[in-house]
Amino acid sequence: MSQCHKLNVNDRPGHKVEVSKKWKVCLSFNPQSTVVATGSMDTTAKLWDIQNGEEVVTLTGHLAEIISLSFDTSGDRIITGSFDHTVVVWDASTGRKVHTLIGHCAEISSALFNWDCSLILTGSMDKTCMLWDATSGKCVATLTGHDDEILDSCFDYTGKLIATASADGTARVYDATTRKCITKLEGHEGEISKISFNPQGNRLLTGSSDKTARIWDVQTGQCLQVLEGHTDEIFSCAFNYNGNIVITGKEAV
């Protein structure tokens, strides 16, 4: 049975959460760090109380595994992206379905709110990203340009910029207001599976199947540094809160 373990910052073991008889795919904490959400291959997401490890609510309705989930900045809503090509917005306290976002024609790879919770960004294996009005659930823009599946997408911390990572080996930066591509990042020799902004919004970090991570200038698209050392594909990467340290990870064996 797949499990999650809560660890305190002093490394003492905490509660164990029994997630599902099928694999856990993704997880996300709410902003208050009182609830953790897990998405599973059994087509459900579950919310768990951090203090006692007990299940709070189960989110049901997807027809395929849930590959992405995230809370809004208030913790009141959560979105789930699935291989059934849809994204669902839920009330985090009741588990009630608020909106179902329908428009992508392939599996969802990423789904998240912008900083003020007015927009939702979704990435898909149909080679596009879509922007949705978070209140109405209506699509307001489709971002195109990639030649292969989009594997990850994100907003910067202000919500003014959007970055996308693709199996075509490139990343792109879009203006969130005009929805125009302003920068294309080229240099990886394999698909880019993860992308993230630094807190200052002037650098991007990408992780790739070419076993490297790269740091980029957001405005110019110039590669500033190639981070080598992994012996396998990189599936995750992130800046710390100060933006002066990066962490990269490969798939667990």
pLDDT at position 25: 79
In a domain, 163, yes or no: yes
- Considering the domain architecture, whether residues 90 and 157 belong to the same structural domain is answered as no
Please check whether residue 240 is in contact with residue 247, taking contact to mean a CB–CB distance below 8 angstroms.
Answer: yes
Same domain? 73 vs 191: no
Contacts of 244 (CB under 8 A, 6+ apart): none
Q: How far apart are CA 43 and CA 23, in angstroms?
A: 10
226 & 176 share domain: yes
Position 196 in a domain: yes
What's the confidence (pLDDT) of residue 253? 46
Co-location of 86 and 162 in the same domain? no
Residues 38 and 179: their CA atoms lie apart, in Å, by 31
pLDDT of residue 170: 98
Domain extent at residue 75: 1-113+133-141
Rounded (5°) CA angle 157-244-12? 90
Mean residue pLDDT of the chain comes to 91
4 plus 108 within the same structural domain:
yes
Q: Is residue 121 part of a domain?
A: no
Of the candidates 76, 63, 68, the one whose C-alpha atom is nearest the C-alpha of residue 32 is: 76
Tally of structural domains, the chain: 2
- Residue 209's CB: how many other CB atoms inside 10 A? 18
- At 240 the pLDDT is 92
Instruction: Give residue for tokens 């790739």.
Output: 208
Closest CA to 29 of 78, 64, 82: 78
Any domain includes 89: yes
Tell which residue, 252, 250, 159, has the closest CA to residue 210: 250
Domain membership flag for residue 123: no
Q: Domain ends where: 141, 160, 177?
A: 141
Contacts of 35 (CB under 8 A, 6+ apart): 29, 47, 48, 49, 50, 56, 75, 92
Q: Are 181 and 216 within one domain?
A: yes
Residue type, 114: N
pLDDT for 250 equals 79
CATH of the domain at 243: 2.130.10.10
95 within 8 A of 81, measured Cβ to Cβ? no
Specify whether 203 is located in the same domain as 242.
yes
* Cross-strand partners of 30: none
Average pLDDT of adjacent 10-residue blocks, the chain of 253 residues:
41 48 77 95 95 95 97 97 98 97 98 97 98 98 98 96 98 97 97 97 97 96 95 92 90 57
In-domain check, residue 37:
yes
Is 128 inside a domain boundary? no
Determine, yes or no, domain membership for 172. Answer: yes
> 203 near 191, Cβ under 8 Å?
no
Taking only the tens place, the pLDDT of each residue in 112-129 is 999 999 999 999 999 999
* Alpha carbon distance 78, 59 (integer Å): 10
The pLDDT value recorded for residue 8 is 42
The DSSP 8-state label assigned to residue 31 in this structure reads T
How much is the pLDDT for 18?
53
